[in-house]
């Protein structure tokens, strides 16, 4: 089984370093005739960054890109095999977004943030803050998802 690359961990590595080496999508699912998609040469033909207020800017292929834009681009490739060098770390495996899995878990069990807060002993606002899409999910969420996935097997 292939290794899983969590989108949140990848973005956090980019945030810490501000540098992105390369992004390769291996055999993109939506383009079966393509063996490898190199995003540096296909997506960044512009010479400026789409600036978003309060967003961080990173350097990629001698151009600037904001992290929100990077996240939106990578979300298109969830479920694909990737080879990405970001923030001095190599990420290689199937791109995953655990936040989507968490939403699915909440929907499956008909849970709201207030229900989860009561279960784990936090406030509703704390749960909302800790599970924001721009943050890595806390270990208690990962534990809930692990048990749920094992239960489904």
Is residue 50 scored above 70 in pLDDT?
no
Is residue 43 scored above 60 in pLDDT?
no
pLDDT of residue 135: 76
pTM of the model: 0.65
Strand bridging mode 63-66 / 81-86: unpaired
Is residue 75 scored above 80 in pLDDT?
yes
Q: What is the mean pLDDT of residues 133-139?
A: 80
E-assigned strand segments in the chain? 4-6, 19-26, 36-38, 57-60, 63-66, 81-86, 89-96
Tokens linked to 48: 């400026």
What percent of the chain has a predicted confidence (pLDDT) above 90?
19
pLDDT of residue 1: 45
pLDDT confidence of 46, banded at 50, 70, 90?
very low
pLDDT of residue 45: 45
**Burial environment of residue 120 by CB neighbours within 10 A (0 to 12, 13 to 18, 19 or more):** middle
Q: SS3 of 41, please?
A: helix
Of these ranges, 44-48, 109-113, 135-139, the one predicted with the greatest mean pLDDT is 109-113
Nearest residue to 81 via CA among 70, 68, 101, 96? 96
């Amino acid at each position: 089984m292939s290794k899983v690359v969590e989108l949140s961990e990848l973005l956090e590595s980019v945030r810490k370093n501000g540098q992105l080496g390369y992004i390769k999508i291996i055999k993109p699912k939506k383009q079966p005739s393509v063996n490898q998609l190199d995003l540096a040469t296909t997506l960044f033909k512009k010479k400026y960054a789409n600036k978003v207020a309060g967003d961080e800017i990173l350097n990629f292929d001698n151009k600037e890109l904001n992290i929100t834009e990077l996240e939106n681009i990578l979300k298109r490739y969830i479920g694909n095999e990737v080879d990405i060098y970001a923030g001095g770390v190599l990420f290689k495996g199937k791109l995953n977004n655990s936040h989507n899995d968490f939403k699915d878990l909440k929907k499956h069990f008909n849970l709201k943030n207030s229900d989860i807060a009561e279960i784990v002993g936090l406030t509703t606002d704390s749960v909302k803050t800790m599970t924001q899409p721009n943050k890595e999910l806390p270990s208690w969420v990962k534990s809930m998802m692990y048990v749920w996935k094992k239960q489904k097997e």
